[in-house]
Amino acid sequence: MSKVYNVGILGATGTVGQRFVQLLEDHPQFEITALAASDRSVGKPYAEACAWKLAGEMPEKVREIVVQPIEPPLDCDIIFSSLPSTVARETEEKFARAGFPVISNSSSFRMEEDVPLLIPEINHSHLQLIDLQREKRGFDKGFIVTNPNCAVVSFAPPLAALHRRFSIESVFVTTLQAISGAGYPGVSAFDISDNVLPYIAGEEPKVETESQKILGELNNGVIEKADFTVSAQCFRVSVLDGHTASVRVKFKQTSTLEGVMEAMTEFPSLDLYSSPKPFIKVCDEPSRPQPRLDRNNGNGMTITVGRLFPDNIYDYRFVALSHNTVRGAAGSAILNAELLIDKRLI
Amino acid sequence: MSKVYNVGILGATGTVGQRFVQLLEDHPQFEITALAASDRSVGKPYAEACAWKLAGEMPEKVREIVVQPIEPPLDCDIIFSSLPSTVARETEEKFARAGFPVISNSSSFRMEEDVPLLIPEINHSHLQLIDLQREKRGFDKGFIVTNPNCAVVSFAPPLAALHRRFSIESVFVTTLQAISGAGYPGVSAFDISDNVLPYIAGEEPKVETESQKILGELNNGVIEKADFTVSAQCFRVSVLDGHTASVRVKFKQTSTLEGVMEAMTEFPSLDLYSSPKPFIKVCDEPSRPQPRLDRNNGNGMTITVGRLFPDNIYDYRFVALSHNTVRGAAGSAILNAELLIDKRLI
Amino acid sequence: MSKVYNVGILGATGTVGQRFVQLLEDHPQFEITALAASDRSVGKPYAEACAWKLAGEMPEKVREIVVQPIEPPLDCDIIFSSLPSTVARETEEKFARAGFPVISNSSSFRMEEDVPLLIPEINHSHLQLIDLQREKRGFDKGFIVTNPNCAVVSFAPPLAALHRRFSIESVFVTTLQAISGAGYPGVSAFDISDNVLPYIAGEEPKVETESQKILGELNNGVIEKADFTVSAQCFRVSVLDGHTASVRVKFKQTSTLEGVMEAMTEFPSLDLYSSPKPFIKVCDEPSRPQPRLDRNNGNGMTITVGRLFPDNIYDYRFVALSHNTVRGAAGSAILNAELLIDKRLI
Amino acid sequence: MSKVYNVGILGATGTVGQRFVQLLEDHPQFEITALAASDRSVGKPYAEACAWKLAGEMPEKVREIVVQPIEPPLDCDIIFSSLPSTVARETEEKFARAGFPVISNSSSFRMEEDVPLLIPEINHSHLQLIDLQREKRGFDKGFIVTNPNCAVVSFAPPLAALHRRFSIESVFVTTLQAISGAGYPGVSAFDISDNVLPYIAGEEPKVETESQKILGELNNGVIEKADFTVSAQCFRVSVLDGHTASVRVKFKQTSTLEGVMEAMTEFPSLDLYSSPKPFIKVCDEPSRPQPRLDRNNGNGMTITVGRLFPDNIYDYRFVALSHNTVRGAAGSAILNAELLIDKRLI
């Protein structure tokens, strides 16, 4: 029987905070003991502070937990943070300095040299940065790890599979992102009904830079970013959950369609509690993946790929999909925590 | 005062057929005198045969027109055809052979060597093919001209503007297409609600081949296709009208952002009744173009471009939008008819 | 040629404010000379202060108007107010006291005894309250008139038609209201996508009380409310514009289906610029009215009724629809202004 | 350990057929051994014949089952039928005559005097009709039982709870029905996007008549229908799953709000495998029930009620919701089968 860790959630009343609560409900390794949110919520039981927006009911065991301020210390072993990036930087650092492992879904530290940007199946070796980070920032026991932007998560796994075999040179990605990615209240219904929004503030630069770090090699305490270029155009579409990425990829090495498919389907998953089987699922049906039908594959943790064909300019084209608030946010952070425990870093 | 031509519509009860009826209601050059549709509708007044699906009411003057079989002759000077491609080939040729100018929205003849594939602002010189076509097919007075696929229309105009100045080498386009593009009943609400469909049957090949013909040069009766490659991924999204195209373009010649913008905004419109001013509108606002807000620019005939930026792999990226059942279908065909009259070919 | 009045709009950057701007663009009797909005916007040209959310472009002639604070005086003859009810009460009274005719779309004064709650076709005799209002409140030249809640406007006109002929006893109404009724940003896309909301804050009491005042008789300076009861349940549905009302009505007098239909179709419109013809349109088609197809009937000013049948508990049932931001808001206020001019009260 | 029955599904490739397959996947009492569908599908493995439209993957164990014609006999103990009503009458009778218990979701036999129209929690005593039915129709071992129209299921349970305590006199119901209720392809996206449809063919009469039979008393082999009147207006709204009913109810007896609430919350569920706990859930939150958040309560088998208030014309008003393809179709039929086994009628 595995040890149970107490966890605290920063930003517990938001949509990603709610996903954390939902995904942790029956988790064998974690028990929610602290919920922290903004001043408006502090002092209220979670059931009262939080307007629950997910299908199904708020889990019974968190209803009575009184919401606390977003300040260390909290009565827990691990911090999950889904704070908005405006406040994340200062607050997360405070918690790390106070000795907490901070597993962050925010963008603040993702591109910092000494902070792992994790997709456990791809780059768990980057965890070695934690020692460096502690030293550099003067943390004692605490540290910060991050998971990628929700749109990046949809296509970085197939890129990882392909990069190892065929060495990627460049990638065009066009994303069709779900409204839940904007948080709550997020996108106005008046803006998105019968419409497409061709702009998501700050998104394209994140999508263009994070995957090279994720696929980078750690050498002598430094992540050497993967040497390829990404061009991103990001759209918001009228879908509740599930980011779709339309991808063309050019390799430095020769490849075959079979090899490409094999690289994806055989990319190994891990043996952690939340690891999906498979990690990357490749569909044959011409009209898949679709967000509504495929976002919950592998309990929302599988990356689903389809429409994989040779491209007539680049080497291949495909469509990739992931659940943006599970694999793209709370689920990824939980998987990171499982990885840290497995590697005895917590 | 301009002469008024009698026109007949093939496929008059479908969604594009209804757009023809709507757009022709107050047109100074055309008078609807014949409506033809499938057997089910034949013999009924249009008001009874057609389940009107457009906002606003069915125009009064067509309500009593009795629907006729889709067979020549019809009592009119010009034929507008919005037949499904399965029946278009044979039927349109029959009408042309019977002496009618056939202005077709169908895909059947678009890529035929002797058939103009027209965007009047771009390639009206291709009308010279008509003589050749008559000769080759043994048509006497009749002929066939076509307008492009509705998705192609959204990005071919900016490509035309750029190709003339900077000579395009290759283009990646990802389309987010409206449900009206599938006709009626078309897309099931059960399929598209809270969803994106990554596949539109037969669409990607059309999008990859039509623009080279449109931008081609007519030399000695042969269209030399423009020498660039297009890679297309096509999606259906939950939007009623308005196809959005996400585009990256690579030039053979050097360029500047100013030059690119100028090439688009200064690309001339024509002086025909349905010609929009401007032909191509370039937006500055970061979150435009949007289908719901921009599809009716220029009465649905303007191409709206936005998010024009240098790309980090190709030369430029931008987003282009057009109204798929106006500029992308009925409106284009009507503009073609106006052009043919202007050029004294009708 | 009619005199042109200068008008000012309070709350000019909101969605109803934008509708005012749009509807007044080519209005022969009004010229926008003042735009007032909250502090954030003050001092900026309207083009910069306002994120234009309506289809089509912001009218050229308002783009350069500098937004002013919501304080009297403003350089205009007439005030249109679309202020939120929280600030409307105090501000609108200030403008009236400063001598301005205030034509309000807010709920603050609707049920005040001395304030007309107008649907011009129904109760223009209530304008006599203005004298009383001036006396009671010590206004000199200024005054306040209001238009009804946007949901009430969809079914009050058919009720008026029926009440005059058959004397209504009671009414059950269930509304399916559009998202634009909640203003901007208003309803979160995350709440309404693939969903129905069974609650609109404060709406049911308004819907249950306003129609009796509208259909009331003015006797000796007092409106005697119409003697019937309304029961309302109000829902928000995923529609951009157009409130639908499902209605059952019970009469005190006997009636026939023909009489009921005639009462509605023959209810007279007025001869004002924005008066639609007809005022109430009754459809035969079994699946009408529909918001997307019928909300723009009569330029958004017609009330469309359908599915009129004998009910098996009450006398009749029907479905009524109106455009909630035109007939239900800005269009109604403009019609009220036209009425006031026609009655020489401005 | 309970006995496992082999079941066959008629109409297995349709949306309700797919729900049967999904809900039966892990059911301890049933094993799918026969799948029957129209000619197009006959002879193909289910995986090939059926375009799976539900979230999640097609269950592994049905993929290889070869689809058979809709003709008795099939290799199974029980027939679940989700045939369209046009073919259901003849076919279901054939299966019953051939000795099969037919548990039908179709409307064909619902109102027949000798056929139980079951909601097990409400009227399992009606099962006594089966003997009568066999005698009357000359069935040997076979018989037919039905479940109600999907819209009726959303409000009949609260009516049952109230009728027993307060004796209902009349009911106004307005339904907001999901698109999945129309089957597949069902509603065109072009019709329902940004829209509400005020008409569902044949629906209002069903909604007005079925609940009296369901709540009727069986006396001497005859169901005496419950003595109240229902008035129904039915709308289609843009929701995937979950029918919402807006209800006002008038009692013959006096009541209190507490009594009404108690009647609903204390209405007993059963102890069958698919019985939800509670049967009827009453919400306090002002903006519930909502289809997306509440349709899966009790695995889609709970009826969720909210906005329960005294009405100002009738006694009470409330909003009721159920999952139309689970409790309103396949789930109800499965519950009926569980009931029949429990009562040793299978």
**Average pLDDT, stretch A34-50?**
97
- If contacts are CB pairs under 8 Å, which of residues 9-28 in chain B contact chain D? 15
* ipTM associated with this complex: 0.96
**A40 in D contact zone (CB under 8 Å):** no
Q: Amino acid identity of B311?
A: D
Give yes or no for a contact between C313 and D229, defined as CB atoms under 8 angstroms apart.
yes
| Interchain proximity A292–B198, CB inside 8 Å | no
- Interchain proximity D176–C176, CB inside 8 Å: yes
Query: What does the pLDDT look like over D63-110, one tens digit per residue?
Result: 999 999 999 999 999 999 999 988 999 999 999 999 999 999 999 999
Task: Give the one of D176, D231, D233 whose C-beta lies nearest to C237's C-beta.
Answer: D176
Q: Residue A55 has what pLDDT?
A: 87
| pLDDT the model gives residue C86 | 87
Give average pLDDT by consecutive 10-residue segment, chain C, 346 residues: 91 95 97 97 97 91 97 98 93 98 96 98 97 96 97 98 98 98 96 98 97 96 96 98 98 98 98 97 96 97 98 98 97 98 96
Higher pLDDT, D212 or D2: D212
Residue found under tokens 């349940």? C233
D52 touches chain B (CB under 8 A): no
pLDDT of residue C1: 55
CB C199 to CB D313 under 8 A?
A: no
- Residue B101: partners with Cβ closer than 8 Å, 6 or more residues away: B77, B78, B79, B141, B142, B143, B145, B337, B340, B345, B346
B15, B179, B281, B293: best to mutate for the C interface, most C CBs within 10 A: B293
Q: How many CB atoms lie within 10 A of CB C167?
A: 14
Is it the case that residue A292 has pLDDT exceeding 90? yes
If you average pLDDT over residues A49-53, what whole number do you get?
93
Task: Tell me the C-alpha distance between B101 and B87, whole Å.
Answer: 18
- Residue D292, chain A, CB below 8 Å: the answer is yes
Q: Tell me which chain A residues have a C-beta less than 8 angstroms from the C-beta of C184.
A: 188, 190
Q: How far, in Å, are A13, A17, A32, D17 from residue A21 at the CA level?
A: 9, 6, 8, 34
Residue B60: per-residue pLDDT: 94
pLDDT at D317: 98
Q: D 200-229 residues with CB below 8 A of C?
A: 208, 229
What would the mean pLDDT of D305-310 be, rounded to a whole number? 98
- D293 closest CB neighbour out of A55, A193, A295: A55
CA A237 to CA A290: how far, in whole Å? 13
Say whether A293 and D193 touch across the interface (CB within 8 A). no
Q: Is B195's Cβ below 8 Å from some Cβ in D?
A: no
Per-residue pLDDT at A1: 55
Specify which residues D31 forms β-bridges with. D6
Residues in C closer than 8 angstroms to A186, CB to CB, are 188-190
- Is a pLDDT exceeding 70 seen at residue A215? yes
CB-CB contact of D258 with C170 (8 Å):
no
CB pairs under 8 A between A and B: 123
Q: Which of D235, D290, D312 sits opposite C195 (nearest CB)?
A: D290
Q: Report the chain C residue with the minimal C-alpha distance to residue D193.
A: C239
Domain ranges of chain C: 5-149+329-342, 150-323
Length of chain A: 346
List CB contacts (< 8 A) between B179 and chain C. none
Express as a percent the part of chain D with pLDDT over 90. Answer: 97
Lowest mean pLDDT among A219-233, B47-61, B330-344, C179-193: B47-61
Contact A198 B289 (CB under 8 A): yes
Query: B183: pLDDT confidence band, cut at 50, 70 and 90?
Result: very high
Contact C53 A190 (CB under 8 A): yes
Q: Which pLDDT score is estimated for D316?
A: 98
Say whether pLDDT at D143 is over 60. Answer: yes
The per-residue pLDDT for range A85-129, each reduced to its tens digit, is 889 999 999 999 999 999 999 999 999 999 999 999 999 999 999
Q: Hey, is D286 helix, strand or coil?
A: coil
What CA–CA distance (Å, rounded) separates B199 from B207? 13
Closest CA to C181 of C208, C211, C143, C152: C152
pLDDT digits (tens, 9 = 90+) for A233-291: 999 999 999 999 999 999 999 999 999 999 999 999 999 999 999 999 999 999 999 99
What is the C-alpha to C-alpha distance for residues C152 and C210, in angstroms, rounded to an integer?
A: 7
Question: For domain D5-149+329-342, which architecture applies?
Answer: 3-Layer(aba) Sandwich (3.40)
Distance from CA of A133 to the nearest CA of C (A): 38
Share of residues in chain B with pLDDT > 90 (%): 97
Query: What is the assigned CATH class of domain A150-323?
Result: alpha beta
Tokens linked to C290: 């529909």
D4-10 average pLDDT score? 98
Estimate the share of chain A in helix, then strand, then coil, as percent rounded to the nearest 5: 35, 25, 40
- Residue B1 pLDDT grade (very low, low, confident, very high; cuts 50, 70, 90): low
**B271 at interface of C, judged by CB pairs closer than 8 A:** no
Average pLDDT over residues B143-161: 98
Given a cut of 90, whether residue D57 has pLDDT beyond it is no
Instruction: Yes or no: say if C154 and C245 are a contact pair by the CB < 8 Å rule.
Output: yes
pLDDT digit string, tens, across residues B247-267: 999 999 999 999 999 999 999
pLDDT of residue D55: 87
Q: State what percent of residues in chain B have pLDDT above 70.
A: 100
A53–D296 CB contact, under 8 Å: no
**A135-164 residues touching C, CB cutoff 8 A:** none
Q: How many CB pairs under 8 A join B and D?
A: 57
Closest-CA distance of chain C to residue D101, Å: 36
Which of A57, A238, A277, A281 would you mutate first to test chain D, the one with the most D CBs within 10 A? A57
Query: Which one, of B329, B121, B236, B158, lies nearest residue A286 by Cα?
Result: B236
